[in-house]
Structure 1
Amino acid sequence: MAKRDLPLAIRDYLASRTASDLGPAGADDITRLIAASRSTINRHLAKMTASGEIVRAGAGRGTTYRLPMPSPSAAATMTTRPWSVDATTLRAQLDAPLGSRLPVSYQRHFVDRYVPNQSSLLPHQLADNLHTKGRVKGQQPAGTYARKVREQLLIDLSWYSSRLEGNRISLLDTRELFIRGRSANDDLDATMLLNHKDTIEFIVDAAPEYGITIAVVRNVQSLLMQGLLENPRSLGAIRKTVVNITGSVYVPTQVPSLLEEMLEQIVSKARQINNPLEAAFFLWVNIAYLQPFEDGNKRTSRLCANLPLMLANCAPLSFLDVDANDYAVAMLGVYERLDVTLAIELFDWTYRRAIDKYRAIINAMGAPDPDRARFREHLGEAIRQVVGSRSPLSQAVAAQSLNEIDEHLFRLMLVQELQHLEPWNCARYRLPIGKTEEWIRDERPM
């Protein structure tokens, strides 16, 4: 992790503890969470305390750190970002009592009138600017960016998306949950997070192979909601039931044939959009507005927004630091007024944060090893054979059909990767955590 990203990681951790009522954290807790030396953590803690970013209490081994508490007046109006005059005006209108707001139904012209690469929900200059800032330079296979930051993305997108649904598990506990994996004692919050993790792993692999398709979108909803719906037949299925939007006068359409038609049109048009940021925004807003599934529509919209970004090797969208109230009112603007003003500003703000965070992570990795890039697929296949199928190392190497010189280099690289394989980094090889843990417990047989 780059040094300039450590303060953000520290703030994220302290914020998660505050949100979960866990109280202040000691330097030991922070060091365990963040991959940096204790001296580096102490240095950042000292700087952040001096600047007022965090508050220190106690002394010696009892020293703890927390975020500063806002004053009561500030807490009442605090949001994730400053809003424009137009956005502030819209927020005030949407804050009006429900009884004073006119009920509205789904308006299909919001999609019907949209012409890919002629129409635009994002301002053209903003979409172009975000694309320029967020993309990987040079030509690389689709999905390269997402695979590079996969481990951090699994945590970020899972936790921030789940938090927007009211999930109460802390960021630190999410990390521990992902290392442990599923268990018979998982509650709804744990299941929601683990479902997010499974879904993100799916789209990292599926986006480059299948692109933006109805099947991918419906599988995203199915994975997100497994174990959370009363009727398993509703997983991935176009809904035939009524849904209501709490706190809104918006009434989604209840006609299954229209839901199916509009979802197909949304996906088809998103696939045609040249600018991946416009495509991401289009998917995010329209899937949530349509509400095509029995449940999990907003979750599905957030993860599907990443499909065009992954295809174009842009920084992923993980909704970093988005406040639940800000998110809800941005959606209300779309639902009740077809006004994307708040959604645009929220999207712009959080995506710029994502660009900075994931660029720092990639910079911290250093220059890519050309041999490692050349053998990437071979390494993944061989590691799955050794760990998942318990094949002997020699057999896994021979199965790659490399020439004699490459085979020697590949064997050395494979042994090194296997020696450093852990339950918390096995997802990059599409290995189940449980299988990896069993292999490690058996003393890494090769």
Structure 2
Amino acid sequence: MDDTISDRQLRILKHLSQIGTASRKELTAVIPSVSRITLIRDLNSLQARGLAIAAGKGPATVYSITPSAKRLKLYDPAAYLLEDPDSRQVQFTAFIAEHVKRLESAWDKNKIGNIKRLAADYQLKRGSDVASRELERFVIEFSWKSSKIEGNTYSLLDTEQLIKGSVEAAGHSREEAVMILNHKTAFDYIWQHNHSYRQLSRMSIEEIHQLLTQNLGISRGLRQSPVGIVGTAYVPPASQAEISSHLDQVIKLVNDCQEPAIKSLVALVGISYLQPFADGNKRTARLASNALLVAHDYPPLSYRTVDENAFKGALILFYEQGVTDYIVEVFLQQFEFSAKNYNL
């Protein structure tokens, strides 16, 4: 049997991965150019290869993907980011709170068990005489990479000289230096007040945003006008009433989670997704996410080894396709790196 998955079959699997189950009629609407016979042939092929299963009979038959199909890389996040947003098969263009809630159910027992083992190992090695130097190294690497994700052009060495020696790099704007130094200020603050962040509140999120955006000409408080996100067809909520309501939902979802790593992920994605501020949203999301980790004696994420396009692509896949797997994978990879490479 030919194991090649056609583009059409891949679209079927992607659609099923997003919505759970679908009938043949629903799948025909997603792929309008396909005939009924061809669709049935594709579905039979996917079932024969253990990638899809059917339930029910006749017109009531619905299809879903199997665990084997879920392990397939249906998307390449970095490649997805580079696609023209207008040419993508976008499923969602508006904020859907239920998608944020699904981030919690994306964790199985193996993922949670691995997180807990990594956190326990990290906690055992804390408190050594090198901890202060390790904290400084983490702050430099986090401030550099988080700023770089936002387009900052400072190198890691430039960032070290700025933070340790107050030396601004030649050929760079003052705003780039301020962005990096604001990261240091914000992380120092959450580190010193770590127990204040065991639960998230609107005040704590706005506090982090204020620290990150000071002296950058960015307005404080919830935005009062619409914003767009470069590179995606997704449009965040426009009215302040909507933003306020959805932010309360995100905060409740974070605080209802029992596992600190899941709290952190929901904050990271939920705040990035909602875009509650005029600017500085993803920076605020990364700091709030780290504040929750630090408050529970978990390793904060530096993102030092993350591929920026893969990270951005994973977020956009969540926005546009409702797919959680890729951003969860990025988070887990960065958590493991931090747990093994820092001793704060």
Amino acid at match of 2:138: L
Structure 1 residue 151 corresponds to structure 2 residue 140: no
Partners of 2:140 and 2:134 lie apart in 1 by 10
Per-residue CA shift, 1:207-235, capped at 9, x if unaligned?
313532221111111111112225xxx22
Partners of 1:246 and 1:210 lie apart in 2 by 31
SS in 2 for 1:86: coil
| Contact 1:333–1:341 (Cα < 8 Å) also in 2 | no
Q: CA deviation at 1:174?
A: 1.1
Partners of 2:304 and 2:236 lie apart in 1 by 28
Per-residue CA shift, 1:259-282, capped at 9, x if unaligned?
112212212321232111111111
Structure 1 residue 104 corresponds to structure 2 residue 89: no
Change (3 A) 1:131 1:252: same
Q: 248, 251, 273: which one pairs with 1:289?
A: 273
Partners of 2:132 and 2:204 lie apart in 1 by 18
Structure 1 residue 162 corresponds to structure 2 residue 150: no
Corresponding residue of 2:188: 201
The aligned runs of 1:49-88 (5 Å cut-off) are 85-88=72-75
| Contact 1:208–1:311 (Cα < 8 Å) also in 2 | yes
The farther-off stretch of 189-198 and 98-107 is 98-107
Corresponding residue of 1:408: none
| Contact 1:131–1:276 (Cα < 8 Å) also in 2 | no
CA RMSD of aligned residues (A): 2.9
Amino acid at match of 1:305: S
Partners of 2:242 and 2:131 lie apart in 1 by 34
The aligned runs of 1:91-240 (5 Å cut-off) are 96-101=83-88, 102=90, 104-111=93-100, 119-135=104-120, 136-137=122-123, 149-181=134-166, 187-211=174-198, 212-230=200-218, 234-235=219-220, 237-240=221-224
Change (3 A) 1:283 1:298: same
The aligned runs of 1:8-23 (5 Å cut-off) are none
Change (3 A) 1:123 1:92: farther
The aligned runs of 1:362-377 (5 Å cut-off) are none
Matched pairs, number: 265
| Contact 1:182–1:194 (Cα < 8 Å) also in 2 | no
The aligned runs of 1:412-423 (5 Å cut-off) are none
| Contact 1:241–1:254 (Cα < 8 Å) also in 2 | yes
| Contact 2:143–2:184 (Cα < 8 Å) also in 1 | yes
SS in 1 for 2:105: coil
Corresponding residue of 1:343: 327
Partners of 2:151 and 2:260 lie apart in 1 by 29
| Contact 1:244–1:251 (Cα < 8 Å) also in 2 | yes
Q: CA deviation at 1:176?
A: 1.4
Partners of 1:309 and 1:175 lie apart in 2 by 24
Amino acid at match of 2:86: G
Structure 1 residue 301 corresponds to structure 2 residue 289: no
Amino acid at match of 2:203: A
Structure 1 residue 277 corresponds to structure 2 residue 265: no
Change (3 A) 1:296 1:123: farther
The aligned runs of 1:16-35 (5 Å cut-off) are none
**Structure 1 unmatched runs, 5+:** 1-83, 363-446
Amino acid at match of 2:248: E
Partners of 2:311 and 2:131 lie apart in 1 by 24
Larger radius of gyration: 1
**Structure 2 unmatched runs, 5+:** 1-70
Q: CA deviation at 1:147?
A: 7.2
Q: Which has the higher contact order (CA 8 A, sep 6+)?
A: 2
Change (3 A) 1:146 1:243: farther
Partners of 1:193 and 1:97 lie apart in 2 by 30
| Contact 1:279–1:308 (Cα < 8 Å) also in 2 | yes
| Contact 1:164–1:323 (Cα < 8 Å) also in 2 | no
| Contact 1:146–1:313 (Cα < 8 Å) also in 2 | no
Amino acid at match of 2:193: A
Change (3 A) 1:322 1:354: same
Partners of 2:161 and 2:253 lie apart in 1 by 39
| Contact 1:154–1:200 (Cα < 8 Å) also in 2 | yes
| Contact 1:204–1:310 (Cα < 8 Å) also in 2 | yes
Amino acid at match of 2:341: K
Amino acid at match of 1:318: S
Partners of 2:173 and 2:87 lie apart in 1 by 42
Q: CA deviation at 1:149?
A: 4.1
Change (3 A) 1:214 1:341: same
Partners of 1:90 and 1:352 lie apart in 2 by 20
SS in 2 for 1:104: coil
Corresponding residue of 2:65: none
SS in 2 for 1:254: coil
Q: CA deviation at 1:86?
A: 2.4
